[in-house]
C-alpha cells in the first residue's frame, strides 16, 4: 500500500450502509463457521437477481436484476479453474515467475492474466488489481471465463503490536468500510473465507518458516484516510490489519458461489498511530515469496466438492 496520511481527526462514526438492505460484513470462525459450500439460489447465476415474483419489474426477474452482467465473449479463451488474484505488481511478477508462465499475458480490464502450472495443476494469476472495486471487476470477469476458486495474495498494514512487518496474516473475516460489498446484497449469514479453502491455507502456514497470524482485517477504500479514530475503532473490534480488497472478495465470492480465501503479507505498521513502511525490506520480500508459494500450494490442492 502507499504512504499513509495521519493526523488529528473528529471522532469516527462508522458510515451507514448506503443501500436499503443491511449487509453483515464481519464474520469469522470466532463468530460462526465460514461458509462451506457454493451459495445456493439465484445469486449463483451471473444474472444477479435476488428472487421475487416474476413480472414485478416488467420483463426482468426482479428490481434487483443486474442490467449488465459479466460474460465470456465468443472469441475469449477460458481461464483455468484455479486463480490467484494479486493487487500489486511485485506480487504478480513473483507468482508469474514461480509458475514459469510462458508467452505474453492476456489483458483483462487493463489487468494482466498469465497461465502456468503448479504441482501439475493449471493455475492462472491475475493482477495487479488494486482496491475493492477493481479487484471485484476483474474477479467477476474471471468467474465468467471459468474461474471456480480464487485465492488472493496481498499486503496489509498492521493494527496489532504482535503483528510485525514481514509476518503473514490469514484473514478469517473482514470489517468493511469499502463501498463495493453493499452492491451484492446477501441474506443473513457468514461472509468470510470459504471454510475448506481456508483450511488449505491454515494447514500450510506452520511450515512456511514465517511468523503468521489468523484473524479479521479491516478493508478500506481510502488508505490516505486511515485516521487515528478509525484505527482505534477497528483495533477495538479485533482487526489485525488493514487492506483494500478482502471484504469485497469474500462477499462477492459468496454471492457468486465461488470459494475465496486469502493470505496477506504485512507491509507496514501503524498500530501505535505512527506509520512505519517495510515493503522495501528484504525480509518483506522473502515473506512475500513464501506467501506466493503457499497460495499456489493451496490452489493446487483444491478439489471441488462433489455436487
177 occurs within a structural domain: yes
- Residue-averaged pLDDT of the chain: 84
The pTM score is 0.83
What's the rounded Cα separation, in Å, for the pair 17 and 141? Answer: 26
- Residue 188's domain comprises 78-301
- For the stretch 252-295, pLDDT in tens is 999 999 999 999 999 999 999 999 999 999 999 999 999 999 99
Q: If you average pLDDT over residues 216-220, what whole number do you get?
A: 96
71 occurs within a structural domain: no
- For the stretch 190-210, pLDDT in tens is 569 999 999 999 999 999 999
- For the stretch 142-162, pLDDT in tens is 999 999 999 999 999 999 999
Q: Which helix (H) or strand (E) holds 155?
A: strand 149-158
Cβ atoms of 164 and 266 within 8 Å: the answer is yes
127 occurs within a structural domain: yes
73 occurs within a structural domain: no
SS3 annotation, 228-241: HHHHHHHHHCCCCE
Task: Report the CATH number that the domain containing residue 94 is assigned in CATH.
Answer: 3.40.50.1580
Q: In which band, very low, low, confident or very high, does the pLDDT at 231 lie, cut at 50, 70 and 90?
A: very high
Q: What is the DSSP letter of 60?
A: B
Cβ atoms of 217 and 264 within 8 Å: the answer is yes
Q: If you average pLDDT over residues 163-192, what whole number do you get?
A: 88
Q: Is the pLDDT of residue 53 over 60?
A: no
101 occurs within a structural domain: yes
306 occurs within a structural domain: no
Residue 137: its pLDDT value, please? 97
Residue 271: its pLDDT value, please? 98
Q: Is the pLDDT of residue 173 over 50?
A: yes
Q: Which helix (H) or strand (E) holds 90?
A: helix 89-99
Measured N-to-C along each axis, helices 195-204 and 282-301 cross at an angle, to the nearest 10 degrees, of 130
Q: Is the pLDDT of residue 37 over 80?
A: no
Got the DSSP string for 84-131? EEESSHHHHHHHHHHHT--SPPEEETTEEEEEEEETTEEEEEEE---S
Cβ atoms of 209 and 94 within 8 Å: the answer is no
- For the stretch 175-185, pLDDT in tens is 999 999 999 98
Q: If you average pLDDT over residues 223-236, what whole number do you get?
A: 97
Cβ atoms of 32 and 38 within 8 Å: the answer is no
Q: Which residue has the cell 471441488?
A: 304
Q: Is the pLDDT of residue 296 over 50?
A: yes
Give phi and psi for 173, each to the nearest 5: 175, 180
Give phi and psi for 130, each to the nearest 5: -80, 130
What's the rounded Cα separation, in Å, for the pair 192 and 186? Answer: 13
247 occurs within a structural domain: yes
Residue 92: its pLDDT value, please? 97
- For the stretch 88-135, pLDDT in tens is 999 999 999 999 888 889 999 999 999 999 999 999 999 999 999 999
R_g of the chain computed on alpha carbons? 19
What's the rounded Cα separation, in Å, for the pair 166 and 69? Answer: 39
Structural domain total, the chain:
1
Residues 6+ away with beta carbon under 8 Å from 167:
158, 210, 211, 212, 213, 265, 266, 287
Q: Roughly how many angstroms between the first and final C-alpha of the chain, as a whole number?
A: 40
What's the rounded Cα separation, in Å, for the pair 258 and 177? Answer: 22
Q: Is the pLDDT of residue 306 over 90?
A: no
Residue 102: its pLDDT value, please? 85
39 occurs within a structural domain: no
Taking alpha carbons only, the member of 276, 152, 264, 272 closest to residue 218 is 264
Helix (H, G, I), strand (E, B) or coil at 253: helix
Q: What is the DSSP letter of 189?
A: S
CB atoms within 10 A of CB 18: 8
Q: Is the pLDDT of residue 307 over 60?
A: no
Amino acid at each position: 500500500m502507499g504512504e499513509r496520511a495521519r493526523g488529528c481527526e473528529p471522532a469516527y462514526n462508522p458510515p451507514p450502509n448506503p443501500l436499503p438492505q443491511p449487509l453483515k460484513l464481519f464474520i469469522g470462525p470466532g463468530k460462526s463457521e465460514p461458509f462451506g459450500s457454493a451459495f445456493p439460489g439465484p445469486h449463483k447465476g451471473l444474472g444477479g437477481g435476488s428472487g421475487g415474483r416474476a413480472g414485478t419489474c416488467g420483463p426482468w426477474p426482479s428490481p434487483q436484476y443486474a442490467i449488465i452482467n459479466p460474460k465470456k465473449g465468443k472469441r475469449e479463451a477460458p481461464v483455468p479453474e484455479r486463480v490467484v488474484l494479486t493487487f500489486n505488481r511485485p506480487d504478480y511478477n513473483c507468482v508469474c515467475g514461480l509458475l514459469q508462465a510462458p508467452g505474453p499475458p492476456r489483458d483483462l480490464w487493463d489487468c494482466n492474466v498469465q497461465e502456468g502450472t503448479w504441482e501439475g495443476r493449471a493455475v492462472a494469476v491475475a493482477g495487479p488489481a488494486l482496491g475493492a472495486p477493481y479487484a471485484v471487476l476483474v474477479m467477476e470477469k474471471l468467474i465468467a471465463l471459468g474461474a471456480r476458486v480464487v485465492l488472493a495474495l496481498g499486503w496489509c498494514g498492521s493494527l496489532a503490536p504482535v503483528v510485525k512487518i514481514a509476518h503473514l496474516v490469514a484473514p478469517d473475516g473482514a470489517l468493511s468500510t469499502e463501498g463495493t460489498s453493499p452492491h451484492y446484497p446477501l441474506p443473513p449469514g457468514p461472509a468470510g473465507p470459504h471454510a475448506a479453502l481456508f483450511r488449505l491455507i491454515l494447514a500450510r502456514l506452520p511450515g512456511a518458516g514465517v511468523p503468521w497470524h489468523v484473524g479479521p482485517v479491516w478493508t478500506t477504500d481510502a488508505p490516505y484516510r486511515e485516521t487515528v479514530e478509525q484505527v482505534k475503532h477497528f483495533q477495538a473490534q479485533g482487526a489485525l490489519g488493514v487492506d483494500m480488497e478482502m471484504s469485497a472478495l469474500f462477499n462477492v465470492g459468496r454471492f457468486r458461489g465461488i470459494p475465496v480465501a486469502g493470505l496477506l503479507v504485512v507491509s507496514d505498521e501503524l498500530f501505535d498511530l505512527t506509520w512505519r513502511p517495510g515493503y522495501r525490506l528484504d525480509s518483506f520480500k522473502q515473506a512475500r515469496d513464501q506467501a506466493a508459494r503457499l497460495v499456489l500450494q493451496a490452489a493446487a490442492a483444491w478439489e471441488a466438492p462433489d455436487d
